[in-house]
């Protein structure tokens, strides 16, 4: 493990180095003063070395004392867990109290003996290893928690977001739209005659169909801020922040094209020989007098009428105005 020795005395540094090397510690860094130590650690200057596992710090040094230097080191977040052992000829309680308040973990009196140095260094490095292992486990747990949280927000079959994730995202974007007074559009997308498809080809092929359609929708929804979720069964929903009705209808056209390109055979469909989708599109600039459910209900109503009109088509409707209620 790496040990940094900070002492303005050449004799003291050499003695500490010799004792530690004889005890089997080979990765040693020497600093003849506080400023050199701060430079080695990257606190001063432009260069930054790897972190030591332990610092042996002389208390009495010119320019900056060991206590002042320790306070500077401990003020850096990356060095908060690096143990510092004070090496001093001072034995007064005030000096030791100041050293511990500065962040030191232990002290050794000069003249240093091999036995005391070895025992204290071994003890502190053992504690450091245990601290490092604990932090590593905590990081692993945090990463696992993030992965589980991400999985809990995904639909297990299609890999897009699930209904719960949609509800959370929609609420956030609605509030953002209220603050910025920018439009938000929503697409309700339904696979046409999907029950017939399942009855004809089986549920395994139905699952494959859902995955491929979800991929086609994702292909059309390209902006990082846009959002796709499985709404339920064979129905998907897309949220397009900062998007007008015209822009949302363009995205709906892309989805229709990409689904058509899949060429998923559906011989029992009354709409086409291949899988198609119907899409209801709605758009609004959020207002406090309007519930966000209005946007969902309008898109759902547009989807229903698109299906009633023969399926395999898009119907767009602006919540604020019915003048855009035109099928395409």
User: Burial of 208 by CB count in 10 Å (0-12 exposed, 13-18 middle, 19+ buried)?
Assistant: middle
Whether residue 110 has a cis bond before it, omega within 30° of 0:
no
The owner of tokens 């050794």 is 108
232 token code pair:
């339920």
- The CA distance from 123 to 81, in Å, is 15
Instruction: Kindly report the length of the chain.
Output: 328
User: Burial of 36 by CB count in 10 Å (0-12 exposed, 13-18 middle, 19+ buried)?
Assistant: middle
- The CA distance from 253 to 283, in Å, is 16
Separation of CA 67 from chain center: 38
For residue 189, what are the β-bridge partners? 236, 279
- The CA distance from 186 to 297, in Å, is 10
**Which residues are part of the catalytic machinery?**
234
Three-state DSSP at 147 gives helix
């Amino acid at each position: 493990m790496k040990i940094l020795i900070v002492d303005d005395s050449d004799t003291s540094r050499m003695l500490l180095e010799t004792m530690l090397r004889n005890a089997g510690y080979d990765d040693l860094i020497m600093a003849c003063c506080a400023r050199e130590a701060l430079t080695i650690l990257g606190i001063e200057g432009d260069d930054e070395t790897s972190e030591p596992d332990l610092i042996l710090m002389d208390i009495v040094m010119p320019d900056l004392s060991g206590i002042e230097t320790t306070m500077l080191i401990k003020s850096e977040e990356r060095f908060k867990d690096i143990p510092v052992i004070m090496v001093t000829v001072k034995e007064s309680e005030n000096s030791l109290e100041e050293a511990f308040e500065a962040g030191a973990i232990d002290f050794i009196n000069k003249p240093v003996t091999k036995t005391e140095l070895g025992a204290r260094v071994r003890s502190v490095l053992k504690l450091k290893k245990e601290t490092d292992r604990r932090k590593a486990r905590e990081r692993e747990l945090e990463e696992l928690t993030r992965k589980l949280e991400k999985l809990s927000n995904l639909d297990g079959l299609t890999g897009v977001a699930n209904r719960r994730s949609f509800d959370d995202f929609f609420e956030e974007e609605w509030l953002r739209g209220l603050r910025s007074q920018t439009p938000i559009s929503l697409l309700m997308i339904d696979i046409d005659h999907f029950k017939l498809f399942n009855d004809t080809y089986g549920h395994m092929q139905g699952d494959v169909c859902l995955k491929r359609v979800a991929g086609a929708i994702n292909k059309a929804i390209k902006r990082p801020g846009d959002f796709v979720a499985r709404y339920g069964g064979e129905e998907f929903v897309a949220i397009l922040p900062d998007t007008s009705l015209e822009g949302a209808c363009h995205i709906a056209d892309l989805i229709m094209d990409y689904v058509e390109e899949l060429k998923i055979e559906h011989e029992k469909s009354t709409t086409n020989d291949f899988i198609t989708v119907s899409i209801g599109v709605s758009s609004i600039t959020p207002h406090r007098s309007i519930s966000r459910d209005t946007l969902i209900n309008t898109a759902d109503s547009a989807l229903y009428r698109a299906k009633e009109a023969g399926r395999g088509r898009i119907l767009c409707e602006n919540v604020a105005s019915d003048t855009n209620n035109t099928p395409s």
